[in-house]
Amino acid sequence: MNNLRIATLRFSSLATKATGSLGKRDFTRSLWHMTKKPATGASNDHVTVLNVHKPSISCTCGCNVHTKAEKELVECLAEEIVAERKVQKGKAVSSTLDGFNVKIVGGDVELIKETDKEKVVVSFNVNHTVDTEEEPEVNPNADKPELGEMRSKPQFEVDIIKSGTTLSFTCSYLQGEAQEGEYNDVFSIDEMSIFEGEWNDKVYAVAGDVLDGYLYDLLLNYLEEKGISQEFAEKLSDLATAHEHTSYIGLLEKLSKFTAGGK
């Protein structure tokens, strides 16, 4: 299973499964409390499944100052971190991508490629960019529920800078599969602008969907010549997915340390 995130379904999601779809963050929590088998002879209804695994309230550090909620949270986080690290293997964030140097600060990512004539910068932020490729049917009674793969597909900026002038594109990943007769593009141009020096909110920008069709295609060809091809966009999503997952694990570890009373 290639999931980048093991999921948790809250009881409310299970209770309303027949009437509504699951939200994206329903797939971003561990199934640690659902994958435990009910005791022999116990009912297999949803409530029983959720209540079978009750975290111990004994404190692993041996102190008596932690609350019940803190103890349960630390125990849950320990299992979640182990599960996330298992699916993280082989998904390290690379320092380069197709000739671009990768720079990461928190949730921000920049890819930079520079020559004597120009500088190309691709930038994005991984916060709130994760969603499932498909929304699967989840059976809470299954030992290993089948889940959709979690992918990060952030909106990204492409800045091509020459002699102090910047040609800027805002791009987004396309959703769904191409219909018959359509191009099988991975991303689209949302907006384009050109400006001197630093960008400000007075700069005119044109939406990609109002551009002449032929001009739009030529701009995609231009981006491809600069290294921003459809294949590059797929690799960019891989990089974003790996970084978002690493950041998520780091957040869980910090939360666990904070809850346990560490510095």
Mind listing the pLDDT tens digit for each residue in 138-193?
556 655 555 557 899 999 999 999 999 999 999 999 987 655 556 689 999 999 99
Domain hosting residue 126, numbered range: 93-134+146-231
Task: Please report whether residue 245 resides in a domain.
Answer: no
Q: Sheet containing 165-173: which strands, arranged edge to edge?
A: 96-97, 100-105, 108-114, 119-125, 156-162, 165-173, 187-196, 205-207
Task: Please report whether residue 4 resides in a domain.
Answer: no
Task: Please report whether residue 249 resides in a domain.
Answer: no
Task: Please report whether residue 64 resides in a domain.
Answer: no
- The confidence band for 32, taking pLDDT boundaries of 50, 70 and 90, is very low
Mean pLDDT, residues 207-222:
97
Q: What is the mean pLDDT of the chain?
A: 77
Task: Please report whether residue 84 resides in a domain.
Answer: no
The amino acid occupying position 199 is W
Torsion on CA atoms 14, 15, 20, 25, rounded to nearest 10:
-40
| 17 has a pLDDT exceeding 50 | no
**67-89: per-residue pLDDT in tens?**
889 999 999 999 999 999 988 87
What is the count of structural domains for the chain?
Answer: 1
pTM exceeds 0.95, yes or no: no
Mean pLDDT, residues 6-21:
36
Task: Please report whether residue 37 resides in a domain.
Answer: no
Residue appearing with tokens 């999503």: 237
| 117 has a pLDDT exceeding 80 | yes
- The confidence band for 92, taking pLDDT boundaries of 50, 70 and 90, is confident
What is the distance between the alpha carbons of residues 228 and 97, in angstroms, rounded to a whole number?
A: 11
Q: Residue 189 is part of a domain; what is its CATH number? A: 3.10.280.10
End-to-end CA distance of the chain: 35
Task: Please report whether residue 61 resides in a domain.
Answer: no
Task: Please report whether residue 168 resides in a domain.
Answer: yes
